[in-house]
Structure 1
Amino acid sequence: MTTATIVQPRLRLEDPHDCTDANDVLCVFDAFFDGLVRFGKDGGYSPAIAESWIVSRDARDWTFVLRENLLFHDGSDCDATAVILSLRRMARADKGYTLGAPGVWHQYLGDAQISAPDRRTVKIALTHPMADLLDVLVYGYVIAPAALERYERGDATTPIGTGPYRFETFTEGYEITGSRFEGWHGARPANAGIRFLLEPDASRRQNMLLAGNAQVANSLGSQQSCDLDDTGGHTRIVSLVPVSIIYLFNSASGPFADPRVRRATNLALDRNALVETVVGGAARPLLGFVSPSHFGAEDSALDMSRDLAEAKRLLIDAGHGGGLVINVDCPTRLPDEAEALTAAIGLQLADIGISFRVHRHEDREAYAHGVRLKKVHDMCVFDSSPLSTFRVLAEKIDARTRGSWWLGYHNGEVERLIDEGRRTTDNTARAAIYASTYRLLQQDPPWLYLYNPLRVTGLAGKHPQWRMRPDAVLDVTMLPDFGQAADHHD
């Protein structure tokens, strides 16, 4: 039996109904659980527990038809009643908690009517239209009803879902194992077993791959991993992570309440130089409010190259020709380069007369709570995720929602487009709406746009066509057969 060993920097079992964008956690969830849909290999969504779905013209009523004869790993039936138990739990106000923000899923599903007309049909009736509901439901992992009581007690150590692998063992701080679930609905995974190992050090992860103690090594060092290209028996894959590294502007008060100052600050940056200086080239410049992997962002970028003359003109127009002192909130981690980034940006903005007064925060969770409560100075280091254009707009930019990470920004035309997008079910038309929104948010930015990180993954064997999924989460169903890879290497 071929077992694929995956070594990664984080390894834990969590409640699937809480909200996370941690790619190593989602990798484990996707191995053991399904939602109604899964992320597609090349973008979009693929059938999972649901074999098909339809949405009403007004984007309020969704109907999902489940596959026949679906079973959980414990042998119990996965029918509409079981699916609804998980969706309703996910929608509770006390679930969906992520760092600093409670009830992430509740804001979309909390007032929805979720029903089962028959054992293979799930209906979701929304109070407000949401053409991008699949952006939420892809995280709607369905747990076997018999396991829900354990999760309610806070015990997440025995996942039971319908996913491609059946959970076998968990050793906290070391290992998670699983075996291929032959009853899975999708294409049969190439490897009969799966094994996740924890190793926080990137160099050790790479050495485990080189020594044959792992077949997949995630989140390798950008420079050191170049050695894999020279070994002959390994594959190095570089993937764009859709998480955006940004500074949130306090647009409610202070200098960034003026859109001219927000735009001037963006125009004063040399993003390529920042990437080289701060993260050693392991990122791509961010030109708008979402990454190029996001729905509607592709090919819609305007020129965001450095323009000091225009930046200075905007600052003079805003009344800051004599210079401007900005108070910056900066955590010491997440992103881990936050302090170095702040120093590098400070040097660049000095060219247009902006200087920084930095307020350092060592408690990252308290820092996130402070941002959520709008207790920030002029701007603060942050990131933006997940891979959902609509969610970023609704949770962080729409002034009417006043979401956890919204800091006073308001643009009436952007909000009009958000409303148009949420009720437009045609994907092509909705992508065009979001492209227009992207361009508007370049002209009137709510944040300081910086970069998207790159993630390096190493594989045993030569697999030149292999690619990471667009959300930068390792999909174990897409892994090559490492038994064949080993034979070929020999």
Structure 2
Amino acid sequence: MRTTRILQARLQMDDPHNCTDVNDTLTVLEALYDALVRRGETDGFAPALATSWEASDDCREWLFHLRGDVRFHDGTALDAEAVIASLKRMARPDMGVTLGAPGVYSQYLTGAQFEAPTPGSVRIRLAEPMADLLDLLVYGYIVAPSVLDDPMARPCGTGPYIFESAGADSLGARANPDHFDGPPRHEGIEWRKVADVADRLAALERGEADVANALAFDAKPEGATAQTYLSPTTIIYLFNSAKGPLQDGRIRRALNLALDREALIADVLGGAGAPLQGFLSPAHMGYLPEDEKAPRPDEVRELLREAGVGEGLTLDVDCPTSLPNEAQALTAAVATQLAPYGVILNVRIHEDREAYAHRVRRSEIADMCVFDSSPLSTFRVLCEKIDSRVQGSWWLGYANREVEALIDKARVTGDDLAREKIFQDCHRLLRDDPPWLFVYNHLRRVALRGSHPDWRMRRDGVLDVRSLPQFGGVADG
């Protein structure tokens, strides 16, 4: 069997119903499982286990029409009841766990009714309207009922690849010849964890791997096609808007106008980033490019003067040592840029990243903290981090009634173009009254052995093995 080998920095087989935005994990899950829908080539959503769907006018009720003749890897048939079993598991408050925040999916699916009008259709009646439901279900993998009690012990889905083996630093899968999209291009897939970026590059150049992800930004491997792509995870500082000086929107706005993001990217990332000018990245629905970029020193000083801190301001900042890994260097660089305005950062370092995430979730932070925002769903970002009525896991006291009215409008706006306009209005309002300090997105580098000029990384930054071209000439081993 010819095995296509993928090298990546991390390797983890996660529960398919946990909520993760880690691309190294999603590439494995996307190979083994299917969801009702998948992301489109350039935008929107495409059929997967559902061939079509429709929503009620208020986007509260959704009907999905399933493919026929689909079987799980254990040979059992996929039908509406099997789909509903996975959806109900997703909706449990103990599922959907991401770092520091349990129950991500249950925020949207609690109180939902799941019905099977026919063996080939599934109806979801939501407790609250959600026009962006597909953005939630795109990673809602359907698991064989036979393993639902412990899908980690024996992964079993309907995906194009069938789980075969797992070692300390490798995972293996073989092609599913009966997949509804037809036989996969690759007989087998092997993911290997190679932690050192130089080792990943060297193995690719030696012909020992077909794909190497997360390479150095300037990597130009011999005999390979390298591509740079934007990670939709935004690097930010969450502001404590519940207490302290950052309750004042003028100060929050001033800090955003003070940053020279291009300089931060050059100094901290060696150029491997894209400036973030608002709460959305260019990959998100509703993104608007900035006409006049920061820094704008005169406006900064005027805003600080109006807020009564023109003579100086000290802010306490919580900073982890990882995720992002450059957090300490970034905070030092931000402190250097803010110092000329009389803004001093008093930094507190946190080495336990999981404990740090729990502190943020419990709102146990000082004035601001280094963090990120990973959902590609604009609606999820607004609900989980910004809407004061929801007070989600990462909400820190911010409130904007105009934005919340737009969130309510977006909930029931099924037309994609109209909803995008609503999110653009949110983006504009949240630039003027920012809940966070916007910094940048990372630029990542991936390389494929051989010449593949037409291949593109998926827009969510996930390496989709279904799209990989065929490789030849490397033996297993």
Q: State the TM bucket, normalised to the shorter chain.
A: over 0.9
In the alignment, which residue of structure 2 is the partner of 1:167?
A: 163
Shift of 1:345: 0.1
What is aligned with 2:442? 453
Residue number in structure 2 paired with 1:158: 154
SS in 1 for 2:445: strand
- 1:368-387 equivalences under 5 Å are 368-387=357-376
Q: TM-score, normalised by structure 2?
A: 0.98
1:310 equivalent among 299, 308, 311: 299
Q: Does 1:329 align with 2:315?
A: no
Counterpart of 2:243 in structure 1 is 253
Matched, 1:18 2:14: no
1:31 aligns with 2:21: no
- Alignment gaps of 5+ in structure 1: none
Would you say the 8 A contact 1:19–1:104 is kept in 2? yes
Superposed, 1:32-431 pairs within 5 Å as 32-151=32-151, 156-171=152-167, 173-186=168-181, 188-223=183-218, 225-226=219-220, 228=221, 231=222, 233-297=223-287, 299-431=288-420
User: In structure 2, what is the Cα distance between the partners aligned to 1:36 and 1:303?
Assistant: 41
For structure 2, list consecutive stretches of 5 or more residues without a partner in the other structure: none
Indicate if the aligned counterparts of 1:157 and 1:170 stay in contact, CA closer than 8 A. Answer: no
Query: 1:458-473 to 2 correspondence within 5 Å?
Result: 458-473=447-462
Q: Is the 8 A contact 1:142 1:161 kept in 2?
A: yes
Q: CA deviation at 1:189?
A: 2.8
- Conserved 8 A contact 2:169-2:193: yes
Partner of 1:9: 9
- Kindly indicate whether the alpha-carbon contact (under 8 Å) linking 1:300 and 1:439 is maintained by their aligned counterparts in 2: no
Alpha-carbon spacing, 1:41–1:176, altered in 2? closer, same or farther (3 Å): same
Partner of 1:439: 428
* Alignment partners' CA distance in 2, 1:304 and 1:159: 48
CA contact (8 A) 1:234 1:460 kept: yes
Q: CA deviation at 1:74?
A: 1.1
Q: Deviations over 1:92-111 (max 9, x none)?
A: 01111111111000010121
In 2, Cα distance between equivalents of 1:439 and 1:160: 44
Find the residue that maps to 2:214 and give its secondary structure. Answer: strand
- Change over 3 Å in CA distance of 1:187–1:322 after alignment to 2: farther
Deviation string 1:339-377 (CA, Å, 9 cap, x unpaired) is 000000000001211001111111111111111111110
- For residues 159-199 of structure 1, the C-alpha deviation after alignment (integer angstroms, 9 at most, x for no partner) is 1100011111111x221111111111225432221111111
Identity %: 53
Q: How many residues align?
A: 474
Contact 1:91 1:110 in 2 (8 A): yes
> Offset at 1:300?
4.5
8 Å CA contact 2:177, 2:184 repeated in 1: no
Is the Cα contact below 8 Å between 1:330 and 1:360 reproduced in 2? yes
Alpha-carbon distance in structure 2 between the residues aligned to 1:58 and 1:14: 34
In the alignment, the residues of structure 1 paired with residue 237 and residue 46 of structure 2 have an alpha-carbon distance, to the nearest angstrom, of 34
What residue identity is the alignment partner of 2:286? G
Deviation of residue 290 (structure 1)? Answer: 1.3
Deviation for aligned residue 1:221: 1.3
Q: 1:401 to 1:41 in 2, by over 3 A?
A: same
Q: Could you tell me how far 1:41 is from its partner in structure 2?
A: 2.2
Q: Alpha carbons of 1:237 and 1:405: their partners in 2 closer, same or farther (altered >3 Å)?
A: same
Q: Describe the superposition over 1:87-139 as per-residue Cα deviations: whole angstroms up to 9, x where unpaired.
A: 00010011111111110000101210011111101000011110000111111
- Structure 1 segments (4+ residues) deviating >4 Å: none
How far did 1:43 drift? 2.4
1:404: how far off?
A: 0.6
Contact 2:280–2:286 (Cα < 8 Å) also in 1:
no
Q: Are the counterparts in 1 of residues 99 and 357 from structure 2 also a CA contact under 8 Å?
A: yes
Match of 2:213, SS state, is: strand
Q: Tell whether the 8 Å contact from 2:110 to 2:127 is kept in structure 1 after alignment.
A: no
Q: Distance in 1 between matches of 2:147 and 2:409?
A: 40
1:269-307 per-position Cα deviation (integer Å, ceiling 9, x unaligned) = 00000001001111100011011000121x443423210
The amino acid of 2:121's aligned partner reads: T
What's the C-alpha RMSD, in Å, of the aligned pairs? Answer: 1.1
TM-score by length of 1: 0.95
Contact 2:274 2:442 in 1 (8 A): yes
Aligned residue for 1:472, secondary structure, equals coil
| Structure 2 residue identity aligned to 1:12 | Q
